Amino acid sequence: MAVTHQDSPSSLQQRAQQHLLLHFTRNGELGPDGSGLLVLERGEGPYVFDIAGNRYFDALSSLFCSQIGYSFGEEMAAVAAGQMTRLAFNTNWATAHPPAIELAERLAELAPGDLNKVFFTSGGSESVETAWKLARQYHLARGEPQRIKAIARDRAYHGVTLGALSFTGVDRFKTPFGRPAVDVRHVAWTNQFRPLDGLEGEALTGGLLADMERAIQEEGPDTIAVIIAEPVQNAGGCLTPPPGYWQGVRELADRHGILLIADEVICAFGRLGEWFGSRRNAVEPDLITVAKGLTSAYAPMGAVLVSDRVAEPLYAPGATLLHGITFGGHPVAAAVALKNIEIFEREQVLENVRALEPWLERELTEKLLGLPIVADVRGAGFFWAFELVAGDRQQPFDADGRERLLRGFLPGRLRKAGLIARADDRGDPVLQIAPPLISNRDQLAEMVGSLAEVLADAGEFMGLVEA
Ligand code: PLP
């Protein structure tokens, strides 16, 4: 593939090193000329291409965003151009425009239960903060101003702006920034590989719910405004719920007058084979937060879906929604989101995920679980993690091992394999994938083959031998 950008790779890397601060990145470790930086300039289907023309299978969908992949640019551009020509911008502050109205209506149709009201944001962190504020307004209107706390789960990631950061359960992201804005109690996660008290199946569900109930009782049930959780928790590595867990959480929330927020910034828009991950868990939350896949990231946008019950006080005479975001519901982004939904339906994106999930699970399990470094393969839909261990199935890597494996060996080896995936240790070390939802069986098979080679080499690098 010919280089299409006028700048040489080294010039771009160097200029990035000089001016561009990279998010959640050790900015100082890309070399003085930035030569460690992957600069991507083009996408096609599930692939992205760097400035030197190298192709990568984007097995992370650009951080869980590019559900429909990269080949719909022209169609999206036409929609965006049409909207820009008609009405480039206006707000959802006391006025409205057709794309936001139509999109809100479409989302209400697709959402579970009576989540019929939609507040638009610019991204996931804003969605989480919006959900919190809507919940607070609900409790205030019902004469319960004392509900100022929240329950979230250990190591869950709910965003980084100071409000959203409160709900995030990763201490090292939080402690540098002082006291959280919201008082949040974190409870046990649904890790079935290293389960709470060694419990399994329904016993684990019981244990997790008891842990949550204990936290609620200790904090005072009538001080808690919300429980927030992802249908499948990302941080920690695709932690699926044990049977009946979400029904139990719903019951706990109802019993104590607490609102239930499903944070679906990753799990909505097909990642789990459904429009909304909560459908897969057969639960109707009171609020759902989304972003990323809402537009397949052809434009930045987020939203909060709100049940009629929670929105009702906002329609009372004299009541004002005390929250607003200038770009929330941007008409160009809304038009792109509507087109994204149309493409999902036309290209049968959900159907593709549903059809391939059982095969993908088998393939990943067969090809990866036998490797000495892989102890667990877990996930759902097109959202999988492989827990990496130091030989013995239960033996985690120590800090030095993590450093050498996750930040030393894997990034370079993945790149050599033409694969973008995530090596992460917010929980125990995992390699994680979330391929574009339009990926076909051949593309996924090639991805699994590359993963197997990379992880076999990783085992060797870490001194592990085949059993
Ligand atoms: N909530 C969840 C579950 C997420 O995964 C993320 C980001 O990955 C966020 C919230 C924050 O989204 P954003 O990065 O768009 O602010």
User: Which CATH class for the 75-346 domain?
Assistant: alpha beta
Quick check: CB of 46 below 6 Å from ligand 1? Answer: no
pLDDT beyond 90 at 206 = yes
Mean pLDDT for the stretch of residues 300-314: 98
Closest CA to 263 of 318, 209, 313, 304: 304
Ligand 1 binding pocket mutation candidate from 265, 269, 294 (most atoms within 8 A of CB): 265
Closest CA to 169 of 222, 215, 220: 215
Beta-bridged to residue 29, according to DSSP, are none
pLDDT digits (tens, 9 = 90+) for 432-460: 999 999 999 999 999 999 999 999 999 99
Q: In this predicted structure, what is the pLDDT of residue 467?
A: 54
CA pair distance 59, 57, nearest whole angstrom: 6
Distance 107 CA to ligand 1 centre (A): 19
Quick check: CB of 123 below 6 Å from ligand 1? Answer: yes
38-68+348-461 and 75-346 share one CATH topology? no
Ligand 1 binding pocket mutation candidate from 157, 288, 325 (most atoms within 8 A of CB): 157
Distance 292 CA to ligand 1 centre (A): 8
CA pair distance 116, 114, nearest whole angstrom: 5
Is the separation of the CB atoms in 261 and 135 below 8 Å? yes
Quick check: CB of 297 below 6 Å from ligand 1? Answer: no
pLDDT beyond 50 at 209 = yes
Q: In this predicted structure, what is the pLDDT of residue 346?
A: 98
Residue identifier of the C-alpha nearest atom 15 of ligand 1: 124
Q: In this predicted structure, what is the pLDDT of residue 316?
A: 97
pLDDT digits (tens, 9 = 90+) for 366-377: 999 999 999 999
- Under the banding of pLDDT at 50, 70 and 90, the label for residue 1 is very low
- Of residues 124 and 8, more confidently modeled: 124
CA pair distance 138, 260, nearest whole angstrom: 12
Quick check: CB of 263 below 6 Å from ligand 1? Answer: yes
For 149, the 3-state DSSP assignment is strand
Q: In this predicted structure, what is the pLDDT of residue 466?
A: 66
364: left (phi over 0), alpha (psi -120 to 50) or beta: alpha
Quick check: CB of 304 below 6 Å from ligand 1? Answer: no
Distance 138 CA to ligand 1 centre (A): 24
CA pair distance 277, 288, nearest whole angstrom: 10
| E strands in 111-257 | 117-121, 149-153, 183-187, 224-229
Distance 158 CA to ligand 1 centre (A): 5
DSSP state of 239: B
For the record, the structure tokens of 415 come out as: 């790149």
Q: Is 400 exposed, middle or buried (0-12, 13-18, 19+ CB in 10 A)?
A: exposed
Which atom number of ligand 1 is nearest to the Cα of residue 127? Answer: 10
CA pair distance 52, 254, nearest whole angstrom: 55
Quick check: CB of 283 below 6 Å from ligand 1? Answer: no
pLDDT digits (tens, 9 = 90+) for 35-64: 889 999 999 999 999 999 999 999 999 999
Quick check: CB of 130 below 6 Å from ligand 1? Answer: no
Mean pLDDT for the stretch of residues 279-288: 97
CA pair distance 320, 404, nearest whole angstrom: 53
3-state class percentages of the chain: helix first, strand second, coil last, to nearest 5: 45, 15, 40
Ligand 1 binding pocket mutation candidate from 125, 264, 278, 325 (most atoms within 8 A of CB): 125
Distance 290 CA to ligand 1 centre (A): 8
Mean pLDDT for the stretch of residues 386-411: 93
CA pair distance 261, 134, nearest whole angstrom: 11
Q: In this predicted structure, what is the pLDDT of residue 35?
A: 84
Residue 294 sits at φ, ψ, to 5 deg, of -55, -40
- Residue 262's alpha-carbon distances to 97, 111, 152, in angstroms, are 28, 12, 11
pLDDT digits (tens, 9 = 90+) for 65-85: 999 999 999 999 999 999 999
For the record, the structure tokens of 86 come out as: 């008609």
pLDDT digits (tens, 9 = 90+) for 138-148: 999 999 999 99
Mean pLDDT, all residues of the chain: 96
Distant-in-sequence, close-in-space partners of 407: CB < 8 Å, separation ≥ 6 = 26, 423
Kind and range of the H or E run holding 101: helix 98-110
Which atom number of ligand 1 is nearest to the Cα of residue 235? Answer: 5
pLDDT beyond 80 at 125 = yes
Quick check: CB of 131 below 6 Å from ligand 1? Answer: no
Distant-in-sequence, close-in-space partners of 190: CB < 8 Å, separation ≥ 6 = 153, 204, 208, 233, 239, 240, 241, 242, 245
Ligand 1 binding pocket mutation candidate from 120, 128, 233 (most atoms within 8 A of CB): 128
Q: In this predicted structure, what is the pLDDT of residue 392?
A: 79
Ligand 1 binding pocket mutation candidate from 166, 266, 269, 294 (most atoms within 8 A of CB): 266
- Of residues 37 and 391, more confidently modeled: 37
Quick check: CB of 290 below 6 Å from ligand 1? Answer: no
DSSP state of 404: I
Quick check: CB of 383 below 6 Å from ligand 1? Answer: no
Q: In this predicted structure, what is the pLDDT of residue 263?
A: 99
pLDDT digits (tens, 9 = 90+) for 155-184: 999 999 999 999 999 999 999 999 999 999
**Which stretches of 224-307 are DSSP H helices?**
245-255, 277-280
pLDDT beyond 80 at 399 = yes
pLDDT beyond 60 at 290 = yes
Distance 266 CA to ligand 1 centre (A): 7
Beta-bridged to residue 152, according to DSSP, are 186
Residue identifier of the C-alpha nearest atom 2 of ligand 1: 158
Residue 47 sits at φ, ψ, to 5 deg, of -105, 150
Q: In this predicted structure, what is the pLDDT of residue 2?
A: 45
Kind and range of the H or E run holding 370: none
Closest CA to 187 of 127, 252, 123, 134: 252
Which atom number of ligand 1 is nearest to the Cα of residue 159? Answer: 11
- Residue 98's alpha-carbon distances to 90, 91, 101, 104, in angstroms, are 11, 11, 5, 10
Mean pLDDT for the stretch of residues 27-41: 89
Distance 90 CA to ligand 1 centre (A): 25
State the chain's maximal CA–CA distance in angstroms.
Answer: 70
Question: By mean pLDDT, which of 28-32, 140-144, 255-259, 430-434 is the weakest?
Answer: 28-32
- Under the banding of pLDDT at 50, 70 and 90, the label for residue 6 is low
CA pair distance 379, 363, nearest whole angstrom: 13
Determine the topology of domain 38-68+348-461 in CATH.
Answer: Aspartate Aminotransferase, domain 1 (3.90.1150)
CA pair distance 381, 374, nearest whole angstrom: 20
Distance 265 CA to ligand 1 centre (A): 6
CA pair distance 314, 316, nearest whole angstrom: 6
Domain extent listing, the chain: 38-68+348-461, 75-346
Closest CA to 151 of 51, 252, 232: 252
Q: In this predicted structure, what is the pLDDT of residue 4?
A: 52
